[in-house]
Amino acid sequence: MFDPYEVRRDFPILSLMVNGKKLVYLDNAATSQRPVQVIEAIRNFYLKYNANIHRGMHALSQEASRLYEEAHDTVAGFIGAESTEETVFVRNTTEAISLVAYAWGLRNLEKGDEVVVTIMEHHSNLLPWFKVAELTGARVKVVDINDSGFLNYEALGEAITEKTKLIAVSHVSNVTGVVNDVGRIVRAARSVGAKVLLDGAQSVPHMPVNVRELSVDFLAFSGHKMLGPTGIGVLYASKDALEEMSSFIVGGGSVKAVHYDASTGKLRVEWLKSPWRFEAGTPNIAGGVGLAEAIRYLERLGLNNIWSHERMLVQYFFKRIKEEGLSGEINVAGPSSAERRGGIVSFTLGKMDPHATALLLGEDGIAVRSGFLCAQPLLERLGFSRGAVRASFYLYNTREEVDMLVNAVKRLTMRQFRGE
């Protein structure tokens, strides 16, 4: 059975004291903590196997190459990809989406074409498409949400036309926790022959995600949000999508052979097959090893168990807010209930500035995020002109920590009422 108290034993950092208070880490949507198993896997790599990959015949290079290739296999299995060729390692979700924008977008978009996104997107799934649209003459359409924070599917249907080449959408909102209906979005895209890019930064670490079942063309996610190290992320691209992508960052490690013809001054290049032709240069080898270990950890716990646990914590948060009579004091971004949302709650507290709220919560040892959460258009659409405070839960958080958050919020409302 899933036991968060047992899980916490693998995360020594959660035992830290902050300002004399027990650390309550609720900033998991920004980055998760790492279990000792992941830390030791990285440490073990550097102690025993550190070498560059695909470049040496000596034992260390061969072992490092094996571990890095196996990491791709582990990721492919985790998301249900057909083969390792479909899993490209990058630095993070942002780089994965930008890679699609430049390696696929510049090659396939032209004047008059359309890319459809939503107002709920993270900046990393907005900026690349507007940038590529500037370069190609394509147009970006932004689909609205309703006042509850859910995607307006009727507006989405109206936005999709025969000119639509790609729909880029988040699986789970990093602000509201709303879970989008990927199946419905994919069906709409296929009706006009468009491709679908899914931003999985807030879904892959928390819930089962199978690319073949979802039938998406691209999936982007980050290792550091799912117990892995920073500087490692993944772009899944289907075999069909890979055939439409050109190499973007090129150099050593991405080619099989390079021939120079002095008479013509031209190069003849034989590219490696995917994923290596998209991973030029020395990659984050230790990061790949750490990510693979993080995936094994998540698989042992079970993604369904993790997802259920997080949604229980959100439900408990809303229950406790109501019990304490705080519903009128807290303005929640998105749905005002735990239904159809993941383990994320963004809110403001009365007239208090979000950064001030986060700072005061931090004095109680409670780590949350504040500001526009890299999704300013969404927060402004929902009426949060100064941003919000975000509490995001993960597998090691507990009911007691929710109680600590609610109690701290209650104390802040009392201070605000007294004009302190």
Secondary structure (3-state) at 291: helix
DSSP state of 381: H
d(CA 324, CA 69): 52
| Token pair belonging to 256 | 């099989």
Cα atoms in the 13 Å half-sphere on the side-chain side of 239: 7
Exposure string (b/e) for 336-356, b if CB count within 10 Å is 16 or more? eebebbbbbbbbbbeebebee
Please name the residue that has the structure tokens 């994965």.
96
Find the helix or strand (DSSP H, E) in which 6 lies.
Answer: helix 4-7
With beta carbons less than 8 A apart as the criterion, state whether 4 and 396 touch.
yes
Cα atoms in the 13 Å half-sphere on the side-chain side of 338: 19
Q: Which of 313, 349, 374, 408 is catalytic?
A: 374
Please name the residue that has the structure tokens 């032709």.
277
With beta carbons less than 8 A apart as the criterion, state whether 260 and 123 touch.
no
Amino acid at 159: A
Exposure string (b/e) for 280-315, b if CB count within 10 Å is 16 or more? beebbbbbbbbbbbbbebbeebebeebbebbbebbe
d(CA 386, CA 379): 8
With beta carbons less than 8 A apart as the criterion, state whether 114 and 251 touch.
no
Burial of 59 (0-12, 13-18, 19+ CB in 10 A): exposed
DSSP-derived pairing of the beta strands 233-237 and 218-222: antiparallel
Does residue 374 carry a catalytic annotation?
yes
| Token pair belonging to 35 | 């279990």
Residue 330, strand partner residues: 349
| Token pair belonging to 258 | 């390079």
With beta carbons less than 8 A apart as the criterion, state whether 392 and 29 touch.
yes
Q: How far is CA 269 from CA 53, 131, 280, 283, in A?
A: 21, 29, 14, 21
DSSP-derived pairing of the beta strands 255-261 and 233-237: unpaired
Find the helix or strand (DSSP H, E) in which 244 lies.
Answer: none
Cis peptide before 377 (omega within 30 of 0): no
Please name the residue that has the structure tokens 């993941």.
342
The residues annotated with a catalytic role in the active site are 374
